[in-house]
Amino acid sequence: MTQLPLNPGFGVDELERTFTLSELLDLDLYREICASFASLTQVGLRVMDDTRLLLVDAKGRSAESCSALLADDSVQQRCVQEVSRILEKEPEGPWDQSCCRHDCFLGLRYLIAKLFHEGTPIGRVILGPYLPRGQCLGIDGDPDALEIGCRDVLGEKITCLDEADAQKALRHLVRMTEGLIFVGYKSALTSRMHLESVSASFADLKEKNRALRESYEQLKELDRLKSNFLATVSHELRTPLTSVIGYSEMLLEGMAGRLAEEQHAYVTTIMEKGEQLLGLISSILDFSKLERGCLKLSLQPTDIVEVTQSALSTVVPMASRQEIHMDVRVADDAPREIVADEGKVRQVLVNILGNAIKFNKKQGSILIRLQRFARPVCAPADEDVPAVFLTTEEECVCIEVEDTGIGIPAHELTRIFDSFYQVDGSSTREYGGTGLGLAIAKGITLAHGGFIEVESEVGKGSVFRVILPVTHGP
Ligand code: ADP
């Protein structure tokens, strides 16, 4: 099979370029065939492409050239010149348009034939030397001019052939070679077309890759702009909102005079809604800080049971409105003190407890369990211990929040931690929220070197687990 090199700049020109003889022939195989042919006919055989590049040089009966067999220097020199003339000779008759013969000064004969592919000459075959039957060896037709010794050696080493047999052998060889060229042409064309289509798809793929990289860079830039925008807007909204809440409080406390009952109710609503809005803005600010990697943790020894109780007390009013029963169980082996940012851990628990209430049914229940968790980790390398045994345990605390709410479908379990993602994201959804609570909880937990996981069954409830290392910081 003809092998063509992969050319990255492959195009129409390449597809239309004509093939060379060496591209069309399986040279190893063809050389083997020519060698068999030469040993069968006992006559040497040479094949050249149209640039005179010698592709095959199969020796016949004599392994050496005539010049090597002759002792006389001047005869040897004439021999060498004769051979180069033969190699240059263009076939133009006499017995065929594309074949010719050449008789050398010693009386030996060569037959030369052109090779064609689709009407175009593509190379030449030279059969010889052989001694035409009935002819004598000599120099320029004079048998006595050649030393007897040389005549004997040549006579022994050079094959004597009938002219008709020699021409028949050459015709067979040409026909067989042109057959091989035709087969080679088909497979070379197929592989060239295959290469063409591969390089076209490669160029197409490269272009798509470039466009994709460009879109990715643009999206990254847009994402960065979005985070900056969120951070700036939230920050600017927070300041006036704090004043709204502050002045509402002052009005409710009667600092600007006693309010009528209806006025009191209105101002209370303004304050409640203001606080709700402030919570939302704070979430967006926290999230954009997490996204930009600007979250700073103030790590210190923290009583995790107290933090849990404090988070619980924050959500008690919300739970009472839904008549939800909440219970905390601390296992005996649960670590109490961990190194953490107390405020941030409280925020994680408030977010999870808030969801456990929000997505619970009326008079449902929530169970909070604190227990020890041993996380397997790779131990530092030790020369004496095989790598497979190099694991150790990291002491962690697991805070588990189990509710009896609506549950989460299995295929949504990984997505709920994405920012702004809500299982029911429709505008008519039953539950309020931004879809940021769990993204923030996950971000803070990861920043502490911990992780967060969830199990759930639709209609039965969910279990969220926050695992935090006892001593390991971010
Ligand atoms: P939000 O509560 O503001 O919608 P979150 O990020 O806290 O956003 O939660 C994302 C989504 O995960 C919620 O909208 C809800 O669909 C689902 N989810 C979270 N916690 C629970 C839970 N305890 N029970 C059922 N669904 C929950």
Query: SS3 for 366?
Result: strand
CB 422 near ligand 1, within 6 Å? yes
CA–CA distance, 424 with 418 (Å, rounded to integer): 14
So what's the architecture of 12-202 in CATH? 2-Layer Sandwich (3.30)
**Structure tokens, 316:** 């008690």
Angle (deg, nearest 10), helices 304-321 and 342-358:
30
- Nearest residue by C-alpha to atom 7 in ligand 1: 437
Fold annotation for 216-290 = Helix Hairpins (1.10.287)
CB 444 near ligand 1, within 6 Å? no
* Side chain identity at residue 187, one-letter code: S
- Domain residue spans of the chain: 12-202, 216-290, 297-469
**Structure tokens, 253:** 């406390």
CB 452 near ligand 1, within 6 Å? no
| Chunked mean pLDDT (size 10), the chain, 474 residues | 45 68 92 93 92 90 71 80 82 65 90 89 92 88 82 84 92 92 89 89 95 95 84 84 93 92 94 88 83 84 96 93 95 94 94 95 96 82 59 90 96 91 71 83 93 95 96 62
**Structure tokens, 98:** 């594309």
CATH superfamily of 297-469: Histidine kinase-like ATPase, C-terminal domain (3.30.565.10)
Among 103, 91, 164, which residue's Cα sits nearest to residue 129? 103
Residues whose CB is less than 8 angstroms from the CB of residue 361 and which lie 6 or more positions away in sequence, other chains included: 404, 405, 406
Q: What is the pLDDT of residue 456?
A: 96
CB 406 near ligand 1, within 6 Å? yes
Q: How far is CA 465 from the centre of its chain?
A: 36
Which ligand 1 atom is at minimum distance from the Cα of 403?
Answer: 23
Judge if pTM exceeds 0.85: no
**Structure tokens, 143:** 């048998």
Which ligand 1 atom is at minimum distance from the Cα of 436?
Answer: 6
Which ligand 1 atom is at minimum distance from the Cα of 464?
Answer: 23
- Nearest residue by C-alpha to atom 20 in ligand 1: 355
Q: What is the pLDDT of residue 143?
A: 84
CB 324 near ligand 1, within 6 Å? no
Q: Is 126 exposed, middle or buried (0-12, 13-18, 19+ CB in 10 A)?
A: buried
CA–CA distance, 100 with 49 (Å, rounded to integer): 17
Q: What is the pLDDT of residue 390?
A: 60
CB 284 near ligand 1, within 6 Å? no
Residue that has been written with the tokens 């409105």 in this structure: 321
CB 402 near ligand 1, within 6 Å? no
CB 355 near ligand 1, within 6 Å? yes
435 CA distance to ligand 1 middle (Å):
7
388 membership: H or E segment, kind and range: none
CA–CA distance, 104 with 293 (Å, rounded to integer): 90
459 CA distance to ligand 1 middle (Å):
14
